[in-house]
Amino acid sequence: MKVLVIGGGAREHALIWKLKQSPEVTKIFCAPGNPGIASLAECVDIPVKELAKLVRFALDSAIDLTVVGPEDPLVAGIVDLFQRNDLRIFGPTARAAQLEGSKTYSKELMLRHNIPTATARTFRDYDVAMQYLRTAQAPIVVKADGLAAGKGVSVCKTIEEAREVTRKMMRDEMHGKSGTTVVFEEFLEGEEISILAITDGHTIVPFEPAQDHKSIFDGNKGPNTGGMGTYSPLPQIEASILEEAERECVFQAIHAMNRDGVPFSGCLFAGLMITEDGPKVIEYNVRFGDPEAETMLRRLKSDLFPLLWHTTAGTLDQCSIEWDPRPVVTVILASGGYPGKPNPPTQIKGADADFGPDVVVFHAGTKLVDGKLMTAGGRVLAVSAIGDDLEAARVKAYAAADKIDFAGKQMRRDIGARGLTATRIE
C-alpha cells in the first residue's frame, strides 16, 4: 500500500515513523515533509493548503491512503475533495472539522448535548465584548474562535489583561480573522489531560491518555504554546476518572455529532480538565495532537496502518489495539522568541546522534541549508524516550535533549514531573 501523509512537523514525523513499521505499507510520501521525515519517506514539495495539487498528486501516484496531520486542510475541506475524487483519506469532513475550526460551534454542541464544559460567552462585536468585561470575574480565558496554531488561548489573571488580549485579537487581528470573534470562558482548575480516540463514526477506539504542557516555562508559567512536551501514562489519575472522561467527554461528542447529522470519522482529540466536579472539556481538536502523537505512537504496539485503513472503510470494529505499558516522555526543543516571533534560523548540532533504541528525535521545524540542519520555526525538535518507569523515561529524554544544541534553545525541565509528585486523583 502507498501512503501519503500531509504535513511537515513532528506529529507527521511520528506518524510516518510508525507507519514505516507496517508490513502492509510499501511506500510513504509526505507533503511537504522535513529533513527528519526525508530519512523515512519521499518528501513532495506541496504545501498543506494546496488542496488541488495534493489531490492531483494522490491521483497520479495511485495513493491508497492519505493521512492528514494538521487541522488547516481538514477545516478547508480536503477530506470532502479527496472523497469526491474516490480517494481514501483519514480525517473528518469540513463540516465535522468545525468542532476544532470554530470554538463557538464546539461550545454550542457541548451545551446542546450536555457534555460537561466551562461556561462561555461568544462575542463578534468589540464594543459589546469590552462592555461584558466590565462585570466579568478574573481569572478568565479568552479564546480566538478560529484556528490559531495552538496560540489562540490566553488565560488572563486580571480583567485588564483580558481587555488587552481582546483588543489584540479583535482590533489588531493578532490571529488574523480567526480572532475577530472571541469566546470568553470560565477558568477551570484541576489536572489537564489529553484523550485521543479514532472512530469511523460507530466504533470508537480510545488511545491511552497523555498530559501536555502548554505554557512556555516550567511550572505552567508564561504564554501558551502549541505544546512543550507530553508524557503517558498518568499514574496520578484513577482509572475510573479516566473512564468517565472517555465516556462523557469523548464518546458523547461522537454520538452528538451523529445525532446532529454530522458524522465524525478520523481522530478526535479532547483537551480536558479534571476538576472537583469531574472531567470537563476545554476544547476539541479533529486530528492527532502534537506533541501527543509523538508520545502515543511510541507506546502503540499495534500496527497503525490497519487502524487508519479500517477507519476510512467504516470497519474499525475489525481492529484491536495493544499498548506498551512502559511510560514515554516527549520534550519539545523550541527556538528563542517562541511562542512569539521565533529567532532567525540557526544551526542545530547533535540531533542526528545515536541516543540508543529508547530515544527517537522527531523533527518539527527544521530545514537543510547547504547541508546544515537549521531551525525553521517555533517548535524545532521533539525528543521522545521510553523507559521502564516514568523517571527512567524522563532521564533518557533529558539526557538526549541536553546533547542537542542550537542558539536560543528553549525547553521545559518539568515534563512528566506531575506524574511523579502529584497527589493521586480518585
Q: What is the CATH number of the domain that holds 81?
A: 3.40.50.20
> Do 347 and 254 sit in the same domain of this protein?
no
Domain hosting residue 333, numbered range: 328-420
> Do 303 and 201 sit in the same domain of this protein?
yes
pLDDT at 73: 97
**Cβ neighbours of residue 296 closer than 8 Å, sequence gap 6 or more:** 196, 207, 208, 210, 232, 288, 289, 328
Q: Is residue 185 part of a domain?
A: no
> Do 235 and 338 sit in the same domain of this protein?
no
Q: What integer is the mean pLDDT of 9-34?
A: 98
pLDDT at 423: 58
Handedness of CA 105, 313, 32, 386 (dihedral sign): positive
The answer to whether 142 and 118 are in contact (CB under 8 A) is no
Is the pLDDT at 150 greater than 90? The verdict is: no
DSSP state of 179: G
- 425: three-class secondary structure by DSSP: strand
Q: Is residue 110 part of a domain?
A: no
Only one residue has cell 474562535, namely 145
> Do 148 and 206 sit in the same domain of this protein?
no
> Do 129 and 64 sit in the same domain of this protein?
no
Domain count, the chain: 4
DSSP state of 208: P
Closest CA to 383 of 396, 374, 392: 396
**CATH number of the domain within which 412 lies:** 3.90.600.10
> Do 310 and 353 sit in the same domain of this protein?
no
What's the predicted TM-score (pTM) here?
0.93
Strand-pairing partners, residue 333, are: 381
Q: Is residue 103 part of a domain?
A: no
Q: Is residue 409 part of a domain?
A: yes
Quick: pLDDT tens for 58-104.
999 999 999 999 999 999 999 999 999 999 999 999 999 999 999 88
Q: How far apart are CA 129 and CA 131, in angstroms?
A: 5
- 259: three-class secondary structure by DSSP: helix
Residue 215: other Cβ atoms inside 10 A: 17
> Do 200 and 293 sit in the same domain of this protein?
yes
| Backbone φ and ψ of 235, nearest 5° | -65, -20
> Do 236 and 309 sit in the same domain of this protein?
yes
Residue 191: other Cβ atoms inside 10 A: 18
Instruction: From 318, 338, 353, give the residue that closes a domain.
Output: 318
Strand positions, DSSP E, 163-258 = 182-186, 191-199, 204-206, 211-212, 215-217, 221-224, 229-232
**Cβ neighbours of residue 48 closer than 8 Å, sequence gap 6 or more:** 6, 7, 8, 31, 32, 54, 69, 70, 72, 73
The answer to whether 2 and 335 are in contact (CB under 8 A) is no
Find which of 144-153, 160-169, 367-376 is predicted with most confidence, using mean pLDDT: 367-376
Q: How far apart are CA 231 and CA 244, in angstroms?
A: 20
> Do 307 and 402 sit in the same domain of this protein?
no
> Do 220 and 199 sit in the same domain of this protein?
yes
Task: Return the C-alpha cell found at 183.
Answer: 469566546
Q: Is residue 285 part of a domain?
A: yes
Type of residue at 399: A
Mean of all residue pLDDT scores within the chain: 95
How large a percentage of the chain has pLDDT more than 70? 98
Instruction: From 285, 318, 351, give the residue that closes a domain.
Output: 318
Instruction: From 318, 341, 371, give the residue that closes a domain.
Output: 318
> Do 305 and 407 sit in the same domain of this protein?
no
| Pairing verdict, β 42-43 and 27-32 | parallel
> Do 311 and 393 sit in the same domain of this protein?
no
Query: pLDDT tier at 425 (50, 70, 90 boundaries)?
Result: low
pLDDT at 313: 97
